[in-house]
Chains A and B, each alone.
Chain A
Amino acid sequence: MTALSLKNVNKSFGSVHVLKDIDLEVEDGEFVVFVGPSGCGKSTLLRVIAGLEDATSGTVEIAGEEVNTVPPAKRGIAMVFQSYALYPHLTVRGNMALGLKQEGQPKQVIEDRVAEAARMLSLGEYLDRRPSELSGGQRQRVAIGRAVVRQPKLFLFDEPLSNLDAALRMNTRVEIARLHRTLAASMIYVTHDQIEAMTLADKIVVLRDGRVEQVGSPMELYNNPANQFVAGFIGSPAMNFLPAEIVGGKKGQMIGIRPEYLRIVDQGRLQATVTHVENLGGDTNVLATTEDGHPVTLRLFGQHCIQPDKIIGLDYDDAKSYLFGEDGERVVVA
């Protein structure tokens, strides 16, 4: 069954066209991540799905039913916000129970579901505290709990980890992945962090300027980007782009090589001067500039001692490089 289906969704704020002809299907139990740079419309799209914004045109279907005119509370969704958005005047228990109370669920059901969610998210001992007495990580777990108790057909996450520090972000990320496995629920997750996108998603939707650039599994996007934008957006450090002509290609085309597939050789197709070296312990990032002034990044596994200003030769496998046409679209070399 399809958990969510968007057909031709457009959204304009006045004369600003934010979402342009979005078509998308989310299968039952799928974890879909929307990524894209700031202002690409990913949060707006999520809000249109949630019913917090009306689509200017097009249809939104949740679990097979058109919900264009259904209010958010009746769409069978639950949402987790970046700023937690907990009710400051209610306890953790109250926060989680409010949505169920509004639905008119019997007391026993509410109690059971809250207890179950609290156990799942290890919030048991905090049930009677108020949000102001909790740490950031705990607050976000409460916000997730508030979504879980409603047993929605579709979970919506709006950059839920952006307000957490690095260590907590990783823990919570793992927790969300575990939650997805245990609940087997359909989830849509908005982020600009591509590590979250790569690690969590069954399917990634890359958006730019209100358009879907590419939809696919994380590895599909990494191995087979449809265009230069997706290639540059997925992968960290980002893919290197060089004019194809400097390595003997057609004028106007760009060649893309991932930092991990560039290697240092004595005599290669490229020559570059090292400008900066980042030693991360596990691997080493080398930033360099080619003879004709194009910046390139190399990612070497392990620890390497390279001095800045050293001149190095670089080479790569043709099979591991990508070619992009003048319009930014991928050119598949036969």
Chain B
Amino acid sequence: MNKARRNPVNIAAAHGILILYTVIALFPVFVILINSFKTRRSIFREPLALPDAESFSTVGYETVFNQGDFFGYFQNSMIVTVASLFFILLFGAMAAFALSEYRFKGNTLMGLYLALGIMIPIRIGTVAILELMVDTGLVNTLWALILVYTAQGLPLAVFILSEFMRQVSDDLKNAGRIDGLSEYTIFFRLVLPLVRPAMATVAVFNMIPIWNDLWFPLILAPAEETKTLTLGSQVFIGQFVTDWNAVLSALGMAILPVMVLYVIFSRQLIRGITSGAVK
């Protein structure tokens, strides 16, 4: 923004609003983190106080590490999230390429059909999915989760990516065809790198709900060896007694990997969101 258009009052107001929102958004995370380092008693006595010499305790983390296979859960969550994202991006991008690039009968209809999934929550079909998984013997495997999450993420991915792929220059693809590149090479080498920002956007939008999901792990893969982190943390929440130290510590650690992934994608994400508006 140039100097002539800069107005100190506006800037202060804009920053004020943004800072306020950031504080509100980060506050719960902050409370989780400080309380995970406190003794049980001080969590309840002064929930908002920072841990000091008297109230500091790592008992929550100790419980988490000693009870249950925390690293196993962690690994399960990671495998499910990364594998699902991989398949969503791969198949979503391929379908989007076909829809945006090739003229064939029923193209529009196919696009609408694929977009339908955005409007219908996949959880409505839980019972049918469970029956299907039982019949195919996939219950209590990570594949059950990966397949469901891939299906859940595809509609939005196809919708967003096909929009972006339409913007990739036709000349570039045609130049590739004249140089003798196969359609797969054109897709992987020419088109995919150009829609990277959109891919990152899709990845972030899908990653967080998958990582946080409790529903499908609870129904499709509740076995000890396939528990995800969110499901694993539930062992500390009982009907009568809840081990708040452990719950808060588990949640605190569950935030980390998503944050790391988010930082990786976020530069691309911002470009992806603004690229439509600002050329």
A interface with B by C-beta (< 8 Å): 47, 50, 52, 71-74, 77-79, 81-89, 98-99, 102-103, 146, 158
Asked if residues B178 and A73 are in contact (CB atoms below 8 Å), the reply is yes
Is B270 among interface residues, defined by CB-CB distance under 8 A? no
B181 lies within 8 A of chain A by Cβ: yes
Count B interface residues, CB 8 Å.
15
Q: Tell me, yes or no, whether B169 is within 8 Å of chain A by CB.
A: yes
Does any Cβ of A come within 8 Å of B255's Cβ?
no
Q: Which residues of the partner chain B approach A74 to less than 8 Å between Cβ atoms? A: 180
Segment of B42-50, B155-163, B187-195, B233-241 in the binding face: B187-195
CB proximity to A under 8 Å, residues B173-214: 174-181, 189-190, 193-194
Structural contact, B178 and A79, CB atoms closer than 8 A:
yes
B179→A85 contact, CB < 8 A: no
Given known A73-B180, A83-B169, contact A89–B174 (CB-CB < 8 A): no
Residue in B169, B171, B193 with the greatest tally of chain A CB atoms within 10 Å: B171
A selection of 13 A-B contacts at a CB cut-off of 8 Å is A52-B174, A72-B174, A73-B181, A78-B178, A81-B174, A83-B171, A83-B172, A85-B171, A88-B193, A89-B189, A99-B179, A102-B179, A102-B181
B268 to chain A minimum Cβ distance, whole angstroms, is 16
Q: Which of B171, B178, B181 contacts A77 (CB under 8 A)?
A: B178
Give the A-binding residues of B (Cβ under 8 A).
Answer: 169, 171-172, 174-181, 189-190, 193-194
Residues of B within 8 A of A47 (CB): 174
Instruction: Return A326 CB to nearest CB of chain B, in Å.
Output: 41
Between B171, B179, B189, the greatest number of chain A beta carbons within 10 A of the residue's beta carbon is seen for B179
State the CA gap A84–B174 with chains docked (Å). Answer: 11
Which of B175, B176, B189 has the most chain A CB atoms closer than 10 A to its own CB? B175
Q: In chain A, what residue has the closest Cβ to B176?
A: A87
Partner of B180, one of A79, A86, A99: A99
Q: Are B178 and A82 in contact (CB under 8 A)?
A: no
User: Which A residues touch B177, using CB under 8 A?
Assistant: 52, 71-73
Closest 5 CB pairs of A and B: A73-B180, A102-B180, A85-B171, A99-B179, A81-B171
B193 engages A89 (CB within 8 Å) = yes
Q: Bound state CA distance, A83 and B179, in angstroms? A: 16
**Residues in B whose Cβ lies below 8 Å from that of A50:** 174, 178
| Residue numbers in B under 8 Å from A72 (CB-CB) | 174, 177-178
